[in-house]
Structure 1
Amino acid sequence: MDVNEVLLPGVGLRYEFTNHEGDLIGVVARRTGDFEVVVYGDDDQDEARPVFRLNEEEAETLAQILGAPRIAERFADLSREVPGLNSSRVELPAGSAYADRPLGHTRARTRTGVSVVAIVRGQEVIASPSPQEVLRAGDVLVVIGTDRGIADVTRILRA
């Protein structure tokens, strides 16, 4: 999908793309941190009809909601393309030795070869978490690796 980026001097950036129904959709990212989603009229591509506005926090929430299923989908697709590579979700149970400790303390990648590509915490998605990201009981770690490695990560997190 092609996305055009247009500089709006003094305002911010506008991103435009055509959706599957042929509508030209615009997202105006304002310098203030606010976002506005607009739809352009068929007869006048210069006239936009506002659909809704979001502040920075609301835009981040919407991005996480829309991104969470896509992250899992992308890794599922990747695991189908690469023999022996799988993706899975591993929940950090209450009482785990790693609850309230940084992800890096698990040494999951070093010990198992498995990569933690995201953490799902309620409605929040933390993509590409750093080793300093503190794990919480109930977090769901999206991991990618071999079946054996994923089983080992599950065992480590349940200790």
Structure 2
Amino acid sequence: MNIRECALPGIGVKYQFHTKGGNQLVIIKHEDGRRELFSVNPQDDEDLTLIAELEDDECVTLSGLIGGWS
């Protein structure tokens, strides 16, 4: 999987990747620690839909669920 990383000055860091199923996801890690998870419209790369805004403990729980740890 190819993950693109881009600094967002004054905001944080943007991570973007394509899934094998053809979806495109964006995660923005803000300087204050918040994370936002977006889906990208396949017809328009500039059209993002916010899926969730996550705090540290929620990120840990989500990663565990996705990774099959629980």
Partner Cα distance (2:27, 2:56) in 1: 13
> Which residues in structure 2 correspond to 1:1-159 (within 5 Å)?
1-69=1-69
Say which one has the larger Rg: 1
Root-mean-square deviation (Å): 1.7
Q: Which has the larger share of strand? A: 2
Amino acid in the other structure paired with 1:17? F
- Aligned-partner residue type, residue 23 of structure 1: N
User: Would you say how many aligned residue pairs link Structure 1 and Structure 2?
Assistant: 70
Unaligned runs of 5+ in 2: none
1:21 Cα offset (Å): 2.1
Return 5+ residue gaps in structure 1 as ranges. Answer: 70-122, 124-159
State the Cα distance separating 1:66 from its structure 2 match: 2.8
Matches of 1:8 and 1:44, distance apart in 2: 21
Question: What percent of counterpart residues are identical?
Answer: 24
Instruction: Give the Å deviation of 1:43.
Output: 2.4
